[in-house]
Chain A
């Protein structure tokens, strides 16, 4: 299947700092990428849809000024958690859509953010 890579896989930061997470499609181009977050023992919650060359579309209840998304190229989307607080600690996962076929999504390995 298609490969999606996230970096960093783990990050620890102090409260009040900003953290950037990268999502790359390694062997295909993706005009659409998605960002999810997952708390322990819960399912994935969709945060936003990242569209190459345009503004991201956020799900209801997700603060767009808190979670900045940039999709500057067909292979890279970034999520920046601004002024992070302990409650932002979570597992952040991106996915990218394969343009052909039924448009199935492939997911990155996830990035675990811990805010102290």
Chain B
């Protein structure tokens, strides 16, 4: 699977949008971009995934660049409960193992 690069940490003010970037410059055409987050001492939580089109759900929006080499996860109105480590993961849709390999992630701190 392609590797991803994320900033180690970020912070934003409560109520503002949090934009978390992810670089996946070696992504191939059949690979999805997945985002998960992990709040301290809990299991990871699925947020969103996409292939090439922008996606939005009740939690977040995912913006994927046209060349698919990078993406941004957007939390439109961050709350204190959004403080967590956010993982961007690339996985092939053809990968029958379905396993997810986690990188280091971005530690997001939402400030009051």
Q: Is the CB of A105 within 8 A of B98?
A: yes
| Contacts of B87-107 to chain A: CB distance below 8 A | 87, 93, 97-105
Residue A102 contacts which of B32, B87, B97 (CB distance < 8 angstroms)?
B32
Chain A residue nearest to B104 (CB atoms) is: A43
Chain A neighbourhood of B45, CB < 8 A: 107
A102-B49, A102-B93 known; A108-B105 Cβ under 8 A: no
Residue B44 at the chain A interface, CB threshold 8 Å: yes
When chains A and B are docked, how far (Å) is the Cα of A32 from the Cα of B38?
21
Q: Is the CB of A44 within 8 A of B44?
A: yes
A43-B103, A44-B102 known; A108-B43 Cβ under 8 A: yes
Residue A105 contacts which of B41, B46, B93, B104 (CB distance < 8 angstroms)?
B46
Chain B neighbourhood of A93, CB < 8 A: 43-44
Q: Is the CB of A97 within 8 A of B102?
A: no
Q: Is the CB of A43 within 8 A of B105?
A: yes
Chain B neighbourhood of A44, CB < 8 A: 38, 44, 102
Q: Is the CB of A43 within 8 A of B99?
A: no
Q: Is the CB of B43 within 8 A of A104?
A: no
* Chain B interface residues toward A at CB < 8 A: 32, 34, 36, 38, 41-46, 49, 87, 93, 97-105
* Chain A interface residues toward B at CB < 8 A: 1, 4, 6, 32, 34, 36, 43-46, 49, 57, 91, 93-95, 97, 102-110, 112
For the complex with contacts A6-B43, A44-B44, 20 further pairs of A-B residues with Cβ separation under 8 Å are A1-B46, A43-B87, A46-B100, A46-B102, A49-B97, A91-B41, A93-B43, A95-B100, A102-B49, A103-B98, A104-B49, A105-B46, A105-B100, A106-B46, A107-B36, A107-B45, A109-B43, A110-B41, A110-B42, A112-B41
